[in-house]
Structure 1
Amino acid sequence: MIGTGIFISFSFQAAFVQNQPTILALWIIGGLIALTGALSYSDVSRLIPRSGGEYAFLDKLLHPSFGFSAGFISVFAGFAGPLAIASITLGEYALKSDVFSRMQFEAISLGAFVLGPAQCIGVLVLLALSACHSISLRIGGNVQKILTIVKLGVLGFILIGAFAKGGEPINLTLDSV
């Protein structure tokens, strides 16, 4: 699985940490934590071969109320929050592209809530992806495959560009980017 968080989180790390060895260490530590979590889930899923993930594990190991709580929180916070952040970030990136940069947008006020252009683009993308998955699992799966290939292509382009810029390590510092 390749999430879009890599396109969001690294810019914050580079802005706040500003030390390449520390950033690299953070990514290595994060990768080890993710690997530990994946191996733990793998082991528990071998012992409890049920669909449902975290809900099924907590339901069986602790108590059904723990499973329900974990499932409820996952649906309303664990999935909704990251989807909202990724969608708004996609909208922000889209607004900086050549397609949208020349257009003028106004925010939509809904009482206490104000929807800016980035939020509107994010909502439209979420609705389009939801429609793809609602129409057919095959269509939704194919869309996900295409998006994964696009993400891999973007990451590959960034890597190739970083190494093609120059052979000296100094060319890969934050000041030169």
Structure 2
Amino acid sequence: MSTASHQIGWKTAAAIVVSNMIGTGIFTTLGFQLSDITNTYSIFLLWIIGGILALFGAFCYAELGSHFKGNGGDFIYLKETYHPLFGYLISWISLIIGFSSPVALAALAMSKYLSVFDYTFGNGFAMMAIFLVATTLSFSLKTSSRFHNFFTFIKIAFIIILVIVGVGLSGSPQIGNSLNFSNSWQKEIMLPAFATSLVFVTYSYTGWNSASYIAGEIKEVQKNLPKSLIIGTVFVTLSYLLVNYIMLKHAPVTQLAGKEDVMGEAAINMLGISFGKIVNIFIALQLIATISGYLWVGSRLTQAFARDTHIWKPLSKGNKKGIPVRAIFAHAVIAAIIILTGSFKEIFVYTAFILQLFASLAISTVYFLKKGDRTIFKSNAFYIFPTVFLLFSVYILYFTFIHNPKESMIGLGIIAVGIILYVIDKRLSGSKKDEGNAPEEN
């Protein structure tokens, strides 16, 4: 159990939630959505639904995190309620996809946004950024907190200034915009593309559960965990709606559709080339907090998971100050490999698909909590939250699988590898126990 000197308050926990949520998704996914969905009401509805689902999920995780104390998050919830296999799988997924893929995507987005300058920032730069952040997080909890809070401050200040400037400035009549407030939204929300666009949105909200993974490092967890989750999620939802409005207001659909660096395109239209490049720099800087947040939280989950395994046992060890350095660099190495093995959109889709699937499994564990186990929501009306979340998840997963079968199968294939590794790990652990119990020869 962490001592008070090695624990964080709700502000740092909320900073982790905000930094894990605001990052790659909001600054890249609008271009993918505009390929099929162009009505502004439809776009806003996507992000409102995503925010509601994230908030409902945060309510569920607040209860789960308060009940299952200590670090581990989904690993603990699934292991204690369903079966150790599910705990193993969520940890395997978190190691390979859940926390390593977002790190890779954030680093790739950094290089994409910085490529507005004459020098081309490629995969090498993205991987270097990951390892520099990993090194910074390897010293102590105090150093990690200061580093993370500094870049999260940049992230939040940048978002606030961007919103004020973007809303205040008039759009250019010559350039045009993507704002469309017609009645076409009524048809668009019935399209399969609306459901598949939700997978990009739900990915962009990934991180609403992040503080629950480090519950063991939060002071007064029953009070501060729900506070950090809810404040972080509400702030991010409002930010997402306003940032999308700015991008739609300052760039036409033809300029944004299918592109990753959509905010950069809108910023150049909004402020001119020189100031637009400065916006690109700040987008890249705020992505450092995203990389930091995922490496921080992911390493704690991997450390908790590794303690109970044979194959991954070495990753459970920390340094003298308790920092899981091996786990941090394991995520960094995997993120670097991901960068070298897929396109941005392909990585995005299979990551979003598999994270939605396992978020649904984790949320379903609240049904195992009895009324007396809940410390925040005592009424049975609480079950509205997980039920709505799961119904939308089924809707999203079905259409994502139908329209992106290749990426979905990649995700399912990674799960299959995890099942094989679980079987191998159990056998190795069993063999070691048998050797330890074997009688000594005379």
What displacement does 1:42 show? 1.4
Q: Specify every segment of 5 or more residues in structure 1 that has no aligned partner in the other structure, as ranges.
A: 106-116
* Aligned length in residues: 159
Aligned to 1:71: 91
Aligned-residue CA RMSD (Å): 2.2
Matched, 1:162 2:178: no
Matched, 1:39 2:59: yes
Closer, same or farther in 2 for the Cα pair 1:58/1:132, shift >3 Å?
same
SS for the counterpart of 1:135 is coil
The one-letter code of the counterpart of 2:79 is: D
CA contact (8 A) 1:90 1:118 kept: no
- Higher RCO (Cα < 8 Å, 6 or more apart): 2
Aligned to 2:136: 132
What displacement does 1:38 show? 0.9
Bigger mean CA offset, 4-13 vs 48-57 = 4-13
The one-letter code of the counterpart of 1:56 is: I
What displacement does 1:82 show? 1.2
User: Structure 2 matches for 1:103-122, cutoff 5 A?
Assistant: 103=119, 117-122=121-126
1:20-60: CA deviation from partner (whole Å, max 9, x where unpaired): 11111001000011111111111222332232110001111
SS for the counterpart of 1:87 is helix
Hey, what's the Cα distance between the residues in 2 that align with 1:122 and 1:176?
28
TM-score (norm 1): 0.79
Closer, same or farther in 2 for the Cα pair 1:38/1:21, shift >3 Å?
same
Q: Larger radius of gyration, structure 1 or 2?
A: 2
Bigger mean CA offset, 52-61 vs 128-137 = 128-137
1:112-156: CA deviation from partner (whole Å, max 9, x where unpaired): xxxxx4211111111110010112322222111111111112211
Matched, 1:146 2:166: no
Hey, what's the Cα distance between the residues in 1 that align with 2:156 and 2:249?
26
Matched, 1:51 2:71: yes
SS for the counterpart of 1:57 is helix
Closer, same or farther in 2 for the Cα pair 1:12/1:161, shift >3 Å?
farther
CA contact (8 A) 1:162 1:172 kept: no
The one-letter code of the counterpart of 1:19 is: N
Matched, 1:102 2:118: yes
Closer, same or farther in 2 for the Cα pair 1:176/1:60, shift >3 Å?
closer
CA contact (8 A) 2:38 2:178 kept: no
The one-letter code of the counterpart of 1:33 is: L
